Amino acid sequence: MALTSQVAQAIIEAADAKARELRQPVIVAVLDAGGHLKAFRRMDGAVLGSIDVATRKARTAVLFACNSEDVWEYCKPGAPAHALELTNGGLAPFGGGVALKSADGGLVGAVGVSGGAVDQDVAVAQAGAAAFAS
C-alpha cells in the first residue's frame, strides 16, 4: 500500500481516535520512506515538546527500518554501538515510532507519537499503523 495523502490522513485519524479513547492528547507525525513529513496533527492539549519527539521517533523508525525502541538494543549500556543515539542529528530510541511496511516487507514510512506515557504513545502509534495495514 502506498503512503498517499489519503492513507496518511487515515493513520492520523485512527491514532487520534485511540488517543481520545485513552484520554491522552498526543502529537502524531507520519513520514514517508525518505523520512520526509507527509501528515501531522497536534491534538489540543498536547505539550509543545512532543512535536519534536513524535517526529524524531518516526524518523528513528524510518532511518533504521524498525520500531524506534528497537534502536535502543544497539546503543543501551553494554551494547556495542555506543552513542548511536547521537547520530543522525539525534535519535529517539524509545517507544512510539512504528515503521510502516508493505506486504513484501519494504519500508513505506513510519508513524511517530508522543504526548503520553511511553506505553500510551506506543498504543496510539500502533493504532495508526493498523490503519495503514488494513
Label residue 40 exposed, middle or buried (CB < 10 Å: 0-12, 13-18, 19+): middle
- Interaction between residue 128 and its own copies (CB under 8 A): no
**Residue 37 parent element (H or E):** strand 37-42
For the bound state, the minimum distance from the C-beta of residue 55 to its own copies, rounded and expressed in Å, comes to: 9
How many residues bind its own copies, per CB under 8 A? 52
- Interaction between residue 1 and its own copies (CB under 8 A): no
- Interaction between residue 88 and its own copies (CB under 8 A): yes
Measured torsion, CA atoms of residues 100, 129, 72, 40, in degrees rounded to the nearest 10: 90
Question: For its own copies, what does the binding mask look like between residues 3 and 42, x meaning CB under 8 A?
Answer: -xx--xx------x---------------xxxxxxxxxxx
Residue 115 Ramachandran class (φ > 0 left, ψ -120 to 50 alpha, else beta): left
- Interaction between residue 132 and its own copies (CB under 8 A): no
The upper half-sphere exposure of residue 113, i.e. CA atoms within 13 Å in the direction of its Cβ, equals 32
- Interaction between residue 105 and its own copies (CB under 8 A): no
List contacts with its own copies (CB under 8 A). 4-5, 8-9, 16, 32-44, 47-49, 51-53, 56, 60, 62-65, 72, 76-77, 80-95, 117-119
